[in-house]
Structure 1
Amino acid sequence: MDKETLEFKSDVLDSIYIKYDIYIPKIPNGNLIQIAHGMMEHRGNYEYIASILAQNGYIVAINDHRGHGESIGGNIHLGEMGENGFEAALLDMYKLSNILKERFKPKKFILIGHSMGSLLARRFLQEYESSIDILVICGTPSPYFGISFGILFLKMCRFVGINKIGRNIAYRFSFCTFNAKYYKFDKLDSGKPSGILWVNRDENQLIKHLNDREHRAIFTINSFINLLSGLKKVFSKYPHKINKENIPILFISGEDDACGKFGKGVLSAFKHLNKQGYNNAKCILYAKARHELFLELNKDEVASDLIDYFKNH
Structure 2
Amino acid sequence: MALLEPDFPSANGRDTIRAWIYTPVREPRAIVQLIHGLGEHSRRYLRLITALLDEGFVVAAEDHAGHGATAMTSGVWGDAGVDAGHVMVADARSLGATVRARHPGLPYVAFGHSMGSMIARGAAIESPSEIDGLVLCGIAAQIPGADTGIDRAALAAEPDQAGAAPLEYVGTLFDGFVSRFGAGAGPTDWVARDPDVVRDHAADPFNNFGAPLSVRFLRGFIDLYDAANGDGFYAALPSTTPVLILAGDQDPVANYGEGAYHVANRLVATGHPDVRTRVYPGVRHEVHNEPETRDDVAAELIAFIERVIA
In structure 2, how many angstroms separate the alpha carbons of the residues matched to 1:15 and 1:161? 16
**TM-score by structure 2 length?**
0.89
Q: CA deviation at 1:88?
A: 0.9
Q: Sort the Cα spacing of 1:149 and 1:306 in 2 relative to 1 into closer, same or farther, 3 A.
A: closer
List aligned pairs for 1:83-232, cutoff 5 A. 83-144=82-143, 146-147=147-148, 150-156=151-157, 158-159=158-159, 164=164, 166-186=165-185, 194-213=186-205, 214-232=208-226
Which residue of structure 1 lines up, in the alignment, with residue 69 of structure 2? 70
Asked whether the equivalents of residues 125 and 237 of structure 2 are also in contact (C-alpha less than 8 Å), the reply is no
Measure the CA separation in 1 of the matches of 2:36 and 2:162.
Answer: 29
User: Is the alpha carbon distance of 1:183 and 1:244 closer, same or farther for their aligned partners in structure 2, counting shifts above 3 Å?
Assistant: same
Give the structure 2 partner of residue 4 of structure 1: 4
User: Structure 2 CA distance, aligned partners of 1:230 and 1:109?
Assistant: 22
- In 2, Cα distance between the equivalents of 1:44 and 1:119? 19
Q: What letter corresponds to residue 299 of structure 2 in structure 1?
A: S
Residue 150 of structure 1 and its aligned partner are, at CA, apart by: 2.1
Which whole-Å CA distance do the structure 1 matches of 2:181 and 2:7 have between them?
Answer: 39
| Paired AA for residue 154 in structure 1 | L
Residue 189 of structure 1 corresponds to none
Task: Compute the displacement of 1:15 (Å).
Answer: 4.5
Indicate the SS of the match to 2:49: helix
Please identify, of 252-261 and 12-21, the stretch whose mean Cα deviation from structure 2 is larger: 12-21
Superposed CA RMSD: 2.4
The answer for the alignment partner of 2:247 in structure 1 is 253
More deviation, 111-120/209-218: 209-218
Report what 1:302 is aligned to. 297
TM-score normalised to the size of structure 1?
0.88
Q: Secondary structure at the match of 2:53?
A: helix
- Counterparts of 1:240 and 1:180 in 2: how far apart (Å)? 32
Number of corresponding residues: 303
The structural deviation recorded for 1:185 is: 4.0
CA distance in 2, matches of 1:267, 1:137: 12
Per-residue deviation, residues 218-264 of structure 1 (Å, max 9, x unmatched): 32221111111111122222289547311110111111111111111
Q: Secondary structure at the match of 2:33?
A: strand
Identity in percent:
23
Contact 1:30–1:106 (8 Å) recurs in 2:
no
1:247-286 equivalences under 5 Å are 247-286=241-280
Larger mean CA deviation between 253-262 and 112-121 belongs to: 253-262
SS at match of 2:287: coil
CA distance in 2, matches of 1:239, 1:299: 28
**Other-structure match for 2:306:** 311
Structure 2 residues not aligned, in runs of 5+: none
In 2 relative to 1, CA 247–240 (structure 1 residues): closer, same or farther, beyond 3 Å? Answer: closer
Letter in 2 for 1:209: H
Q: For residues 172 and 97 of structure 2, what CA distance do their matches in structure 1 show?
A: 37
- Greater shift in the superposed pair: 213-222 or 303-312: 213-222
Mapped partners of 2:140, 2:200: distance in 1: 23
Give yes or no for contact 1:167–1:219 (8 Å, CA) kept in 2. Answer: no
Distance 2:254 2:28 in 1: 33
Structure 1: gaps (5+ residues): 187-193
Offset, 1:147: 4.3
Query: Does the Cα contact within 8 Å between 2:4 and 2:21 map onto a contact in 1?
Result: yes
